[in-house]
Structure 1
Amino acid sequence: MWKIGVVTSSNSVYRKERENDCFPKLEALLKHNLNVAVAYHRVSPDNIEMLKENMIELIDRERVDLLITIGGTGLSPEDVTPEATELVIDRSVPGLAEEMRRCSMQHSRKVLLTRAIVGTRGNALVINLPGSLPSMEWCFVAIADQISSALSIVQGTNENVNI
């Protein structure tokens, strides 16, 4: 079973000025699509250093297999999740990020404004998701069927996956 970590990046959620409506929905999506539960959840302000520290803690110390970030992927000056993620990952997986945007365009062309990225750090897969419903759901569902395969490849447990 995969160990899952989630970091929500939002100044307003961090300050408890707004509900974290995406997190419960992501929990349900993970259960439905991958039959997994979230082991760790952190809420961070939109701050590169704090986001980076939370991601590194969950991947390197807590040994999560999958780290999903919610929020901070837009064009606002305070949206810095992709920049923090780039400082954490070893390799990018652009195909998954491209597929999130491609599939989500069926619902709204505004998804083109997300700068979400996907990558790996060691044996972990890192996925950025937008912080608004329903964009977060559209992006997750677009790649949900590839997450288990990606994790198996990254962790070296499935040598027979042809790409």
Structure 2
Amino acid sequence: MALNDHRRNAPESVKCMIITVSDTRDRNTDKSGKLIKDFLEEHGHQVSSYLIVKDEREFIENALHKGIENEEVEVIVTNGGTGIAPRDVTIEAVESLIDKEISGFGELFRMLSYTEDIGSAALLSRAVAGVARKTAIFSTPGSSGAVKLAMRRLIIPEITHVAAELKKGH
């Protein structure tokens, strides 16, 4: 089936969960979480849950489990906690729960970051996507620039396609 056929068969709207990983942000100061919400809603998707959790693996995994176990959540988008500092554990938490990695997401994110945004500092960008049961998970760095890039160039263009693929055979 051609790509356009896949996209034609995709749903118009996807139910999403947003998880911001931060020790300092709250609903008033979470600029990146708000950006994700705005991008999703502007493109007709539903945000059914929005959480801010501490940058601790247990809290991140618990939040991810809530989304994975919720039949209404098709896609989870996380931001924050993706750096290389010892405290940054979002990528490890996500990778421990996914059944299949969507390796192209991280690869393309770093390529776009390198060419459009931050140059060689892109090698420090940790971004990952994958599937846990029937739920897609996209994890981006927490900076607003990284979120805009990931949402505009990767997640929004493919979110319905990904959701449609995960419904096959169910």
Amino acid at match of 2:141: P
Unaligned runs of at least 5 residues, structure 2:
1-12
How far apart are 1:115 and its partner, in Å?
A: 1.3
Q: TM-score, normalised by structure 1?
A: 0.87
Pick from 35, 38, 42: which aligns with 2:47?
38
Tell me the secondary structure at the aligned position of residue 138 of structure 2: strand
1:127 equivalent to 2:127? Answer no
Q: Work out the CA distance in 1 between the residues paired with 2:15 and 2:33.
A: 16
Amino acid at match of 2:69: D
Q: Work out the CA distance in 2 between the residues paired with 1:35 and 1:111.
A: 30
Question: What are the within-5 Å matches in structure 2 for residues 11-160 of structure 1?
Answer: 11-13=23-25, 19-32=29-42, 34-61=43-70, 63-105=72-114, 106-109=116-119, 110-143=121-154, 144-156=156-168
Does the 8 Å CA contact 1:101/1:139 hold for their aligned counterparts? no
How far apart are 1:83 and its partner, in Å?
A: 0.3
- RMSD of the alignment, in Å? 1.8
Does the 8 Å CA contact 2:19/2:79 hold for their aligned counterparts? yes
How far apart are 1:118 and its partner, in Å?
A: 0.4
How far apart are 1:41 and its partner, in Å?
A: 0.8
Q: How many residues align?
A: 154
After superposing the two structures, state which structure 1 stretch, 145-154 or 84-93, moved more. 145-154
How far apart are 1:6 and its partner, in Å?
A: 0.8
Unaligned runs of at least 5 residues, structure 1:
158-163
Does the 8 Å CA contact 1:104/1:111 hold for their aligned counterparts? yes
Q: Work out the CA distance in 2 between the residues paired with 1:63 and 1:55.
A: 13
How far apart are 1:101 and its partner, in Å?
A: 1.5
How far apart are 1:134 and its partner, in Å?
A: 1.0
Q: Work out the CA distance in 2 between the residues paired with 1:152 and 1:22.
A: 26
Q: TM-score, normalised by structure 2?
A: 0.83
Tell me the secondary structure at the aligned position of residue 34 of structure 2: helix
Instruction: Provide, for residues 30-58 of structure 1, a one-character-per-residue CA deviation record: whole Å limited to 9, x for no partner.
Output: 123x3113110111101111100110111
Does the 8 Å CA contact 2:105/2:127 hold for their aligned counterparts? no
